């Protein structure tokens, strides 16, 4: 049953108004955490570890800035879902002329496949770290786990699983940091004072440019439907918007903390011992002499849960995008949603298994994301600024200025990042 169908069945009285109390805010937490998973995926791990190992605490400000940008864009995507009852894909199909809408959404599907490639590869690398499972087998196991999770669980169950996975990742890094000697004075300065050490620009661009991901914008506008009540009531909609912003803010701060923890760990261990890190498996092995075998094991466990959870959300986003082409909500029991999920997962897995150098495939996937992301961001802002689409909930002038500024920064960073791939 789709998210929206289950809500309609529960609130089958047209004029129903839910009661809002203190506990309702806690009940609203969830959709943002599914989006946060994309903010702490294996691709972010590689960039964060490189930042900490190469430049110590000086690039922590990137996490702060990227989180602020992410809050603005993800809140705007969720705003679309609440105000219209449509996800970004459905709104595109309905309000953008067909030749353009289909082309845009097909590029979004391509971006989702690229994202799934990176997430599946991260899970397979983690399985190899933990159990010495070959990459080929790790890809198959990841695929099987994600499909079982998606095909046998309701959205609410998946949300609870993802919250559990994010909690494990967070607790893992709390444990790692308890073993490391963190210079908190340097960390506080690093979080708020921008710094551009020699040779750091590629790392800065990769972190800031890749933190906003196309599939997350589509996903957030869809899964926020799980918290909707009575779209006809203005007071209820506005309360939902407030609750959604709290959920987004809380969830993005969780992502900020976990990404910061990665840099802190790398700065306190690898940078402090002048040890460069270029690959995730290398980081695990290097932690053994610095923090002990348990730290190395916990590191790999956290990577595994990050890879699995981000693969699940990437597949959900693909299902939402594909179903939206047919003006349908995401529903794993519906053929269009299932087709989108299967296309994303299987094509990504096939690419990983066919290419000789998986890391090269990862680089190509990031190039595709760099090219598609500006399309999704400017599409979203166009839709949320339209009175035809949003009615009185359209973006204010201040919102448009902030959103277009962020869109411009992210686009510029992705263009620079794309250029760097060809150098």
Q: Do 229 and 17 contact (CB within 8 A), yes or no?
A: yes
pLDDT at 9: 40
Evaluate the CA torsion angle 44, 49, 50, 55 in order and state its sign: positive
pLDDT at 17: 46
What's the Cα-to-Cα distance from 381 to each of 192, 374, 409, rounded to whole Å? 28, 11, 14
Cα of first residue to Cα of last residue in the chain, in angstroms, is 48
What's the Cα-to-Cα distance from 384 to each of 84, 116, 170, 321, rounded to whole Å? 10, 27, 33, 17
Q: Residues 226-279: pLDDT tens digits?
A: 776 556 677 777 788 888 898 999 999 999 999 999 999 999 999 998 888 877
The residue assigned the tokens 């200025």 is 401
Copy the structure tokens of residue 279: 């690959």
Copy the structure tokens of residue 417: 């990042």
Q: Do 393 and 83 contact (CB within 8 A), yes or no?
A: yes
**Percent of residues in the chain assigned helix, strand, coil, to nearest 5:** 80, 0, 20
pLDDT at 421: 66
Question: Going by C-beta distance under 8 Å and a sequence separation of 6 or more, which residues neighbour residue 314?
Answer: 38, 112, 115, 116, 119, 215, 344
pLDDT at 237: 79
Q: Please list the ranges in the chain whose pLDDT falls under 70.
A: 1-27, 209-210, 228-232, 358-360, 362-363, 421
CA 287 vs. chain centroid, Å, equals 27
| Half-sphere exposure of residue 24: CA atoms within 13 angstroms, side-chain side | 13
Evaluate the CA torsion angle 326, 330, 336, 341 in order and state its sign: positive
Q: Do 177 and 299 contact (CB within 8 A), yes or no?
A: no
What's the Cα-to-Cα distance from 9 to each of 129, 391, 413, rounded to whole Å? 45, 26, 45
Domain regions of the chain by residue span = 3-9+22-421
pLDDT at 11: 34
Q: 3-9+22-421: which CATH number, 3.40.50.2300, 2.60.130.10, 1.20.1740.10, 1.10.1270.20? A: 1.20.1740.10
CA distance 28 to 227: 7
């Amino acid at each position: 049953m789709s998210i929206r169908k289950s809500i309609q069945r529960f609130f089958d009285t047209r004029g129903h108004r839910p009661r809002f109390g203190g506990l309702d805010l806690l009940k609203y937490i969830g959709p943002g955490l599914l989006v946060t998973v994309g903010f702490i995926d294996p691709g972010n791990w590689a960039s964060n570890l490189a930042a900490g190992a190469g430049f110590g605490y000086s690039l922590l400000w990137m996490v702060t800035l990227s989180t602020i940008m992410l809050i603005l864009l993800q809140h705007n995507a969720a705003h679309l879902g609440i105000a219209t009852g449509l996800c970004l894909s459905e709104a595109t199909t309905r309000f953008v002329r067909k030749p353009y809408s289909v082309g845009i959404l097909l590029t979004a599907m391509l971006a989702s496949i690229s994202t799934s490639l990176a997430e599946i590869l991260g899970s397979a690398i983690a399985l190899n770290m933990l159990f010495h499972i070959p990459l080929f087998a790790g890809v198959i196991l990841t695929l099987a786990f994600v499909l079982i999770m998606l095909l046998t669980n309701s959205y609410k169950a998946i949300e609870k699983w993802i919250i559990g996975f994010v909690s494990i990742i967070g607790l893992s890094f709390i444990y790692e940091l308890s073993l490391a000697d963190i210079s908190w004075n340097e960390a506080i300065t690093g979080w708020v004072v921008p710094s551009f050490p020699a040779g750091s620009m590629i790392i800065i661009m990769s972190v800031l440019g890749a933190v906003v991901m196309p599939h997350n914008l589509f996903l957030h506008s869809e899964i926020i439907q799980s918290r909707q009540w009575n779209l006809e009531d203005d007071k209820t909609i506005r309360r939902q918007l407030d609750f959604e912003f709290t959920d987004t803010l809380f969830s993005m701060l969780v992502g900020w903390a976990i990404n910061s923890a990665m840099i802190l760990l790398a700065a306190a261990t690898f940078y402090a011992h002048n040890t460069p890190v270029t690959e995730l498996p290398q980081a695990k092995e290097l932690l053994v002499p610095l923090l002990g075998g348990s730290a190395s094991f916990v590191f790999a466990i956290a990577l595994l849960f990050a890879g699995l959870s981000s693969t699940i959300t990437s597949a959900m986003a693909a299902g939402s995008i594909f179903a939206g082409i047919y003006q349908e909500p995401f529903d794993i029991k519906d053929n269009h949603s299932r087709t989108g999920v299967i296309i994303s997962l299987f094509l990504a897995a096939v690419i990983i298994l066919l290419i000789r150098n998986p890391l090269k495939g990862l680089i190509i996937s990031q190039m595709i994301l760099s090219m598609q992301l500006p399309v999704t961001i400017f599409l979203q802002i166009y839709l949320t600024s339209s009175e035809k689409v949003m009615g009185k909930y359209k973006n204010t002038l201040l919102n448009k200025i902030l959103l277009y500024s962020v869109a411009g920064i992210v686009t510029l960073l992705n263009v620079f990042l794309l250029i760097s791939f060809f150098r």
